[in-house]
Amino acid sequence: MIKLKQILLEGKLGDCYPAGGRLIMEFFGDKEHKLVHGMVNGQGALEGMRYGHCWVESRDTVLDHSNGRKLEIPKQVYYALGRVDPKECKYYTPEESAKFMVDKGHWGPWEMSGDVVMAEDIPNAKPEIGKQDMKIPNDILNKIQTFL
């Protein structure tokens, strides 16, 4: 069984942004799938802290394929477990995702920092935004550009 702590730690330690970015490209042209960059709340020692995570939504189902898993869970359950606030999420169509990937050259996040923060403080200043160390390889960028 997957532990909630594993799910919530991935935004900081795992491959959620590349996994979500690759997954959303499978749905190019589909208006029912969205790439989501959001903040999730920690538990235990991380109680009171939030950090960035990435997943794909299809209607009322969350597809979280980070760290080699293929978690598919009802959106309502996923949001409750991670205490996700939709107002603090950024939602992208496959086309918007591809454009950000090409323009920014990294998997994300693009419009929020995703860094570990106190539960009441979401960084949004321009210098805090984006994970420059998660660059998208040129061969993948070239494939994404063919969609645009």
Eight-class DSSP state of 128: G
Indicate the pairing of strand 61-64 with strand 49-58: antiparallel
Q: What is the pLDDT of residue 84?
A: 93
Count of domains for the chain: 1
> How many angstroms from the chain centroid is the CA of residue 4?
16
**pLDDT of 128 strictly over 80:** no
Measured CA to CA, the distance from residue 109 to residue 52 in angstroms comes to: 8
pLDDT tens per residue, range 50-92: 888 999 999 999 999 988 889 999 999 999 988 999 998 999 9
Measured CA to CA, the distance from residue 85 to residue 41 in angstroms comes to: 10
Measured CA to CA, the distance from residue 47 to residue 119 in angstroms comes to: 8
Enclosing domain of residue 22: 4-145
